[in-house]
Amino acid sequence: MTDLDTTLLLMGTTATTPWDRDQIRRLSAQARPRGITLVGADTPANLRSATAEELAYVDDVVALDVLNPEACRAWAATDPPIDGVLTIGERAVLPTAVVARELGLAGNDPDVVRCVRTRDLCRQRLRDAGFPQPYSAVCEDADGAERFLRETLPGPWIVAPRDGLDGTGVSRVDRLGQLPEAVRRATEPDAAPYFLVETFVPGDAYSAEGVMLDGEAHVLALTRRTVTDALLTTARAQPAGLDAATAERACETVAEALDVLGVTHGIFHVGFWANGSGIVVGDVHCRAGGEYVHALVEYTRPGLELYGMLVDDLLGCERRPPPAPAGAARADFLLAPPGRLCAVHGWDELLRHPNVLTAGLAVAPGGTVTAERDAIGRPGAFVTGAAAPDGLEGLAGRLARQIVLVVEDDDVPDEEPDGVDGVPGAAGAEPVPEHA
């Protein structure tokens, strides 16, 4: 327990996806029993549109542009009465560090966060410290990117924004003809003048989930990531299925990388590849993994309070050791072609299944499934859990096939019945992933 006067500031109290809302719900449920007053900060527009449920997770709100470091610095200069600051959102990680620095609170150095969030700077810092990294170049146009491709033949390559936002704007390029579209995707979200091109790293994709305690990284789980050839995540699973020696090496490598980068506080989510060359660290994030990864971590360590551990570390409170790992869990994502989502059949039956831990629709019926195949371009997801991993992938596939997404092409008038397709939840315009 903390003092009853303890106040925590949550930077970003509204969320656009069901998995992010679930993080906020868990944070609230774990902070309040510790005697903490939770204040939610968000933009005036987001607070005006916040639901009653979102507002109920916090005790008070403050209007603040939580994505603008300078606005947050100016606000912190007013010396607000808070004892800790944290966020679940990638874009608010740097402003959160700025507020912590200005108020003398526990948090990461803003310069460290800038480096971590800028992919090429993070790659170079790790490369200089002896970590294997892909060859990369910062480019400002397709001509520069084409020169890099020709210098690093035969490929494939990855084209991505410089800032680390998981899969948003990231493309795999196998031939020169794919480059213009990849450059568009990498630069369009923020009209960024520069983007990153790098050589493709072969191997299976994983991530490490954990929390910094007293400045040291504690890996709580390794996650196996299932992706399509277009790099779209279709599932995440724990345990990761790595042999003991590889798993130990991955945990050690991730902890060493975080130390080299200077990360000292918060929950972390670090991507990596395991291949014949060993462990190659990918994107590093000073926040919990999205896409229900947090739910997998808490389920596979029964009794763990992931956000409670974070709160205790930020406030310097006594902590209990994390519970031992047990069980298995996975998150599977629904895919559909772009268009208006007219209906979702089989959802209520899914929610009633005893192995379904949580589920959420990112696009409600009547909303639009976007053409972008990235982390926010999927209509929903569900999480299953069991005592052991055997059979869980097959169960998730059967459950996914029972969900039918009825999608109508946006070009078809509402009154026209033609053009409406019933799409199994894990299929759609993409090739059916192996788990479905």
- The Cα 291–Cα 15 span in angstroms is 13
Q: What is the pLDDT of residue 205?
A: 95
- The Cα 64–Cα 328 span in angstroms is 39
| Claim to verify: residue 193 and residue 208 sit in the same structural domain | no
Whether 434 is covered by a domain: the verdict is no
CATH of the domain at 20: 3.40.50.20
Whether 111 is covered by a domain: the verdict is no
- CB distance 88 to 17 below 8 Å: no
Number of domains in the chain: 4
Q: What is the pLDDT of residue 414?
A: 42
- The Cα 380–Cα 401 span in angstroms is 14
Structure tokens at 192: 């960024």
CATH of the domain at 340: 3.30.470.20
| Claim to verify: residue 206 and residue 193 sit in the same structural domain | no
| Claim to verify: residue 254 and residue 347 sit in the same structural domain | no
- The Cα 421–Cα 259 span in angstroms is 50
Q: What is the pLDDT of residue 268?
A: 98
| Claim to verify: residue 163 and residue 208 sit in the same structural domain | no
Q: Which residues form the domain of 89?
A: 7-105
pLDDT tens per residue, range 286-297: 999 989 999 999
| Claim to verify: residue 306 and residue 207 sit in the same structural domain | yes
| Claim to verify: residue 354 and residue 381 sit in the same structural domain | yes
Sign of CA dihedral 218, 224, 229, 231: negative
**Pick from 284, 315, 346: which residue ends a domain?**
315
Q: Interior CA angle at 353 toward 349 and 359, to 5°?
A: 80
Whether 322 is covered by a domain: the verdict is no
| Claim to verify: residue 211 and residue 297 sit in the same structural domain | yes
- The Cα 221–Cα 331 span in angstroms is 14
- DSSP E strand boundaries for 47-169: 60-63, 84-86, 136-139, 157-161
**Pick from 174, 199, 224: which residue ends a domain?**
199
User: Which amino acid is residue 136, in one-letter code?
Assistant: S
Query: How would you class 356 by CB atoms within 10 Å of its CB: exposed for 0-12, middle for 13-18, buried for 19 or more?
Result: middle
Structure tokens at 150: 């020709």
Whether 335 is covered by a domain: the verdict is yes
Whether 124 is covered by a domain: the verdict is no
Helix, strand or coil for residue 191?
coil
User: Which amino acid is residue 108, in one-letter code?
Assistant: N
| Claim to verify: residue 12 and residue 97 sit in the same structural domain | yes
Whether 110 is covered by a domain: the verdict is no
Q: What is the pLDDT of residue 308?
A: 97
DSSP per-residue codes, 303-338: T--HHHHHHHHHHT---PPPPPP-SEEEEEEE---S
| Claim to verify: residue 275 and residue 189 sit in the same structural domain | no
**Pick from 253, 282, 315: which residue ends a domain?**
315
Q: What is the pLDDT of residue 374?
A: 58
| Claim to verify: residue 233 and residue 310 sit in the same structural domain | yes
Q: What is the pLDDT of residue 163?
A: 86
| Claim to verify: residue 192 and residue 88 sit in the same structural domain | no
- CB distance 376 to 333 below 8 Å: no
> How many other C-beta atoms can be found within 10 angstroms of the C-beta atom of residue 271?
20
Report which of 324, 339, 295, 266 is spatially closest to residue 25, judged by C-alpha positions. 295
Q: What is the pLDDT of residue 435?
A: 29
> How many other C-beta atoms can be found within 10 angstroms of the C-beta atom of residue 3?
12
CATH of the domain at 140: 3.30.1490.20
> How many other C-beta atoms can be found within 10 angstroms of the C-beta atom of residue 43?
17
Cite the DSSP H helix spans in 212-301: 244-261, 293-300
Peptide bond just before 110 cis, omega within 30 deg: no
Q: What is the pLDDT of residue 381?
A: 96
**Ordered per-residue pLDDT tens for the chain, 436 residues:** 444 589 999 999 999 899 999 999 999 999 999 999 999 999 999 999 999 999 999 999 999 999 999 999 999 999 999 999 999 999 999 999 999 999 999 999 999 999 999 999 999 999 999 999 999 999 999 999 999 999 999 999 999 999 866 678 899 999 999 999 999 989 986 667 899 999 999 999 999 999 999 999 999 999 999 988 778 889 999 999 999 999 999 999 999 999 999 999 999 999 999 998 799 999 999 999 989 999 999 999 999 999 999 999 999 998 889 999 999 999 999 988 889 999 999 999 999 999 999 999 999 899 998 877 555 568 999 999 999 999 999 999 999 999 999 999 865 444 333 334 566 665 333 322 322 2
Pairing of strands 233-238, 195-199: unpaired
Angle between helices 142-151 and 179-187 (to 10 degrees): 120
Taking the whole predicted model, whether its pTM rises above 0.85 is answered as: yes
Q: Phi and psi (nearest 5°) for 385? A: -140, 155
- The Cα 409–Cα 411 span in angstroms is 5
Report which of 61, 102, 23 is spatially closest to residue 383, judged by C-alpha positions. 23
Helix, strand or coil for residue 2?
coil
Whether 432 is covered by a domain: the verdict is no
| Claim to verify: residue 252 and residue 293 sit in the same structural domain | yes
Structure tokens at 293: 């990864």
Helix, strand or coil for residue 178?
helix
Whether 119 is covered by a domain: the verdict is no
